[in-house]
C-alpha cells in the first residue's frame, strides 16, 4: 500500500477545505474529480479545493447498504453517493481487500466503499493491529482518512474524529494534547520524550508517524487509552484486591471490580476466556494463583481501554463523534474483548448507531486459530438467561447465533509480490 503521508493528510484536509467551495463550484462528479485529481501535480491547494467540492456538490444521497448490516436501522445514511468513492481514493484504500465476517462462519468480499459505509455507523472503530507490521499502520492512516472525508461530506464541516492509542498511558494525555496543539517543538521526538514512549511501549514511535503527524496537522484529538503498567503489575503480583480507590480511578473504573461481574458471568465470555484468554496468558511454570492474576490483568487492560473510549464518545455525543482506536489484534478479536466492553458502556446512548465495530488488519493464519483449528467464530452454548451476553453487543447482530465472530471486518492491504 504505502501511500505517502502527505497524500493521507490531503485526504483529511479535503474534508473541510473543499467545503468552502460547495456553493460556488458546480462541476459534475466525474468531471470535477478528474480535473481536481490532475491538478494535484501543479497545486496542492487547488487539488484540495477541487476534490473537496467534487465530493459533495450535487450528489444523490447514499441509501444502499451491504446485506450483512441491512435491516437493523443502523446502516450509514446521509452520505453523498460519490463521497464514499472519493473517501476510498483519498485514503488510498482502492486496492485493499475488505471482507465482512458473516455470523462467524464465512468471509464475504465487499468493496472498500461499502466497508467504509459500514464503519460510519459506529461510535467507536477498533482497528486490530500487529504491532510490528508497517502495513497495518498505513492501513490505519488510510481508514482514518476515509472515515473523516465521508463524515465531512455529510455535514460540510470538520468532523469530530478522534484517534485512540493503546500505546500511550492515560496519565500522558497532556503530552498528546500538547503535541496536537503544536506545543512540542520537536515534533515526534518531543512526544516520545514527553509521553515516555520508549519506557512504556516496546515499538518505536516512528512506526506510528503516519497517524500521529496526520492527527496533529489536522487537529484531530489523540486519546491515551493505555493502562497504567504500574497498576497492571500490582494485579499480576497480588490480584485485583490489591488495587485501592485511587488505582481504580486511574484506570477510569471508579466502580471497581464489580464492573467485570455481569460481563464475565455469561456463557459467551466463559467460552472466550477458555479458548482465547487462557492460552494467551498461560505459562508452563505458572501457579494457579499467578495464572489467575495474569488473567485478571488482561481483563483489566481491556476494560480500562473500553471505559476511556466510551467516556470520550459520551462527552461529545452532540458532535456526532467517532473514535478510531489503534489496539493490538488480541484485544479486538472474538467478541469479548475491548470493543464489546466499550459497546456495553455505550449501548444506552448510541441510539440508532452501533456502539463499536471491529476490524482485524492483515490477519495471518495464526489470527484464525482456536483449539488448533482455523475458524472465523468462537462457538459457545447460548442460554436465554444470558440477557447481557456479549454477543448481543459485539460485532454481528445475530441474536440466535452461537458464534462470536472473529471481527466485523478483516481488511487486507493491496497484493504485493511478498503477499502469501
pLDDT band at 264 (very low <50, low <70, confident <90, very high): confident
Residue 398: CB atoms within 10 A of its CB come to 15
Q: Ramachandran region of residue 270, left (φ > 0), alpha (ψ -120 to 50) or beta?
A: alpha
C-alpha R_g of the chain = 21
Query: According to the model, what pLDDT value does residue 282 have?
Result: 58
Percent of the chain residues topping a pLDDT of 70: 71
Give residue 417's pLDDT band: very low, low, confident or very high (50, 70, 90): very low
Q: 192 and 167 in contact (C-beta within 8 Å)?
A: no
Q: How does strand 122-129 pair with strand 322-328? A: parallel
Q: How confident is residue 366, by pLDDT bands cut at 50, 70 and 90?
A: confident
pTM of the model: 0.81
Banded pLDDT at 210 (limits 50, 70, 90): very high
In whole angstroms, give the CA distance from residue 174 to residue 369: 39
CA atoms within 13 A on the CB side of 163: 28
Report whether pLDDT(166) > 90: yes
Confidence (pLDDT) at 19: 39
What is the reported pLDDT for 278?
76
Angle at CA of residue 165, ends 234 and 306, nearest 5°: 65
Mean pLDDT of 272-279: 79
Of all residues in the chain, what percent are helix, strand and coil, respectively (each to 5)? 50, 15, 35
Amino acid at each position: 500500500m504505502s501511500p505517502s503521508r502527505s497524500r493521507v493528510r490531503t485526504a483529511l484536509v479535503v474534508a473541510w477545505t473543499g467545503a468552502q467551495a460547495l456553493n460556488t463550484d458546480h462541476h459534475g462528479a466525474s468531471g470535477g474529480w478528474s480535473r481536481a485529481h490532475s491538478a494535484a501535480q501543479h497545486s496542492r491547494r487547488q487539488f484540495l479545493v477541487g476534490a473537496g467540492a467534487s465530493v459533495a456538490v450535487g450528489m444523490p444521497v447514499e441509501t444502499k447498504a451491504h446485506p450483512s448490516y441491512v435491516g437493523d436501522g443502523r446502516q450509514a445514511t446521509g452520505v453523498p453517493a460519490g463521497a464514499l468513492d472519493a473517501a476510498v481514493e483519498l485514503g488510498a484504500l482502492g486496492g485493499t481487500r475488505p471482507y465482512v465476517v458473516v455470523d462467524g462462519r464465512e468471509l464475504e468480499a465487499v468493496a472498500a466503499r461499502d466497508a467504509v459505509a459500514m464503519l460510519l455507523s459506529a461510535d467507536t472503530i477498533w482497528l486490530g493491529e500487529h504491532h510490528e507490521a508497517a502495513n497495518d499502520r498505513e492501513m490505519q492512516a488510510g481508514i482514518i482518512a476515509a472515515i473523516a472525508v465521508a463524515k465531512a461530506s455529510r455535514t460540510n464541516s470538520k468532523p469530530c474524529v478522534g484517534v485512540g492509542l493503546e500505546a500511550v498511558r492515560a496519565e500522558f494525555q497532556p503530552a498528546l494534547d500538547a503535541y496536537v496543539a503544536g506545543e512540542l517543538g520537536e515534533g515526534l521526538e518531543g512526544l516520545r520524550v514527553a509521553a515516555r514512549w520508549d519506557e512504556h511501549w516496546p515499538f518505536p514511535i516512528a512506526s506510528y508517524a503516519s497517524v500521529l503527524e496526520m492527527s496533529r496537522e489536522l487537529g484531530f484529538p489523540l486519546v491515551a487509552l493505555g493502562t497504567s503498567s504500574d497498576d497492571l503489575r500490582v494485579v499480576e503480583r497480588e490480584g485485583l484486591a490489591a488495587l485501592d480507590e485511587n488505582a481504580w480511578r486511574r484506570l477510569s473504573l471508579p466502580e471497581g471490580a464489580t464492573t467485570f461481574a455481569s460481563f464475565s458471568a455469561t456463557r459467551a465470555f466463559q467460552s472466550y476466556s477458555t479458548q482465547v484468554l487462557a492460552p494467551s496468558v498461560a505459562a508452563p511454570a505458572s501457579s494457579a494463583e499467578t495464572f489467575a492474576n495474569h488473567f485478571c490483568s488482561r481483563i483489566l487492560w481491556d476494560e480500562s481501554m473500553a471505559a476511556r473510549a466510551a467516556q470520550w464518545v459520551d462527552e461529545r455525543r452532540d458532535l456526532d463523534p467517532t473514535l478510531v482506536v489503534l489496539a493490538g489484534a488480541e484485544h479486538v478479536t472474538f467478541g469479548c474483548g475491548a470493543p464489546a466492553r466499550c459497546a456495553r458502556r455505550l449501548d444506552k446512548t448510541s441510539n440508532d448507531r452501533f456502539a463499536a465495530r471491529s476490524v482485524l488488519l492483515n490477519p495471518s493464519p495464526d489470527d484464525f486459530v482456536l483449539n488448533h483449528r482455523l475458524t472465523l467464530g468462537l462457538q459457545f452454548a447460548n442460554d436465554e438467561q444470558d440477557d447481557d451476553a456479549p454477543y448481543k453487543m459485539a460485532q454481528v447482530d445475530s441474536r440466535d447465533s452461537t458464534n462470536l465472530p472473529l471481527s466485523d471486518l478483516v481488511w487486507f492491504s493491496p497484493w504485493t509480490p511478498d503477499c502469501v
